[in-house]
Structure 1
Amino acid sequence: MMHMFYWLGVKIQDFIFHGYNITTVWGFVSTCIGLIALAIVYETMKISQIKLRQLTKQHNLPSPITQPTDSSSLLSRVSEVSVASVGPFRCNAYTAWTVEVVHWSFHVTLGYFLMLAVMTYNGYISIALVAGSGIGYYIFGPTLLELKLKKLQKYERFKKLEQCHPECADVVSNVTEIAASIVPENQEAEVNINVNADVHI
């Protein structure tokens, strides 16, 4: 029987899967414990998904930029293109990306599975899932927050690096103009020195 409102009971027929019938209190308690564990796993997979994303980025860019200096910002795009074209790094990037996609698929599937459990409208099951999510967030929440803060800091540094490129281009053009102007001046100085030397002789 499909309930369309919250109810309290320990007997459920065809719980999520056909043939999975809960008829005893112990079976219901063990099911709730299993759902609590799955909710904790769901929170844990959020962290592992971020870790896999970082791993994929590392394979895409094996030589990360540590300090956004003028020279590093100018050479960063050239190094990205040249390194990304190397075979082993490209293969590792595809492997890491495949693992990330598979992990994401399992994460989404688990989320739908937990959603179907909530859709039974059983009050005890909903309490078990909320408790599992709360326990998972209590354990892994600080780590998840730290990873997101690091991601935000890297994003801010990347934005500053992107903003640095036009300025660095201006710096390079100015240096080129200065160098071009210095060379003729040095040549003129050498000519004047040679002329003066000939006059004195």
Structure 2
Amino acid sequence: MDHEGGHGGHGGGGGGGGDHEGPTCSMNMLFNWQTENLCVVFESWRIDTPFGLVVSFLVIMAMAASYEALRAQSRRFEERLIEGERKRHPESSGSGGIGEDETPLLAPRSSSFRLSNQQRLTRALFYMAQVFVGFFLMLIFMTYNGYLMAATVLGAGIGFFYFGGDTLATSTKALSCH
């Protein structure tokens, strides 16, 4: 790819309608620090000024932090489900209790614990939101742009600091696409 002089386009007949005027998105498949005509996932999310880079950096950080916030909300929801089950069936929680050891969430010792359709839907919506944000962040990371990669990692770290919980049991899963 032409990284030096070809910011006005990719040269030649590269797909799309021929009536597009103006600069095209810069596409790189190698690590880079480019900030001119850098498109983030969509052609309409174009970075071509230092201010645009700063705003995009902050938006991407917020998105990465939101992934951790979603995970925290999902954990709290599941903890409420487990606590409700403990209150309904205290005999099935045993001496250690669910969630106090390495037992996965929603794996109660009672085989009669079933989620309602509304609870399953809520869990599915949390999961779908996490998958969407995770894959979106992956697409941003795959711009191979150092600034955008740094924004993703910093946002994930900040989000984990604020939303990751204060116990070791909540630190077992890293930011992932799926």
The TM-score range, normalised by the shorter chain, is 0.5 to 0.7
- Paired residue secondary structure (2:40): coil
Q: Distance in 2 between matches of 1:134 and 1:77?
A: 36
Q: Assess if the C-alpha contact under 8 Å between 1:10 and 1:22 holds in 2.
A: yes
How high is the TM-score relative to the length of structure 2?
A: 0.62
Aligned AA (2:150): I
Q: Distance in 1 between matches of 2:42 and 2:90?
A: 50
Q: Could you tell me which of 52, 57, 61 is aligned with 2:77?
A: 52
Q: Distance in 2 between matches of 1:29 and 1:44?
A: 22
Matches within 5 A, 1:62-77: 63-65=88-90, 68=94
Q: Could you tell me which of 36, 46, 57 is aligned with 2:61?
A: 36
Q: Deviations over 1:97-126 (max 9, x none)?
A: 111101110111000000000000111111
- Paired residue secondary structure (2:46): coil
Aligned to 1:108: 131
How far off its partner does 1:40 sit?
0.8
Matches within 5 A, 1:1-201: 1-57=26-82, 63-65=88-90, 68=94, 80=112, 93-143=116-166, 145=168
Bigger proportion of residues as strand: 2
CA RMSD of aligned residues (A): 3.0
Q: Which runs of 5+ in 1 are unaligned?
A: 70-75, 85-89, 150-201
Q: Which runs of 5+ in 2 are unaligned?
A: 1-25, 96-108, 173-178
Aligned residues: 133
Runs (4+) off by over 6 Å = none
Q: Distance in 2 between matches of 1:107 and 1:148?
A: 16
Q: Distance in 2 between matches of 1:144 and 1:28?
A: 35
How high is the TM-score relative to the length of structure 1?
A: 0.56
Bigger proportion of residues as helix: 1
How far off its partner does 1:43 sit?
1.1
Percent of paired sites with the same residue: 24
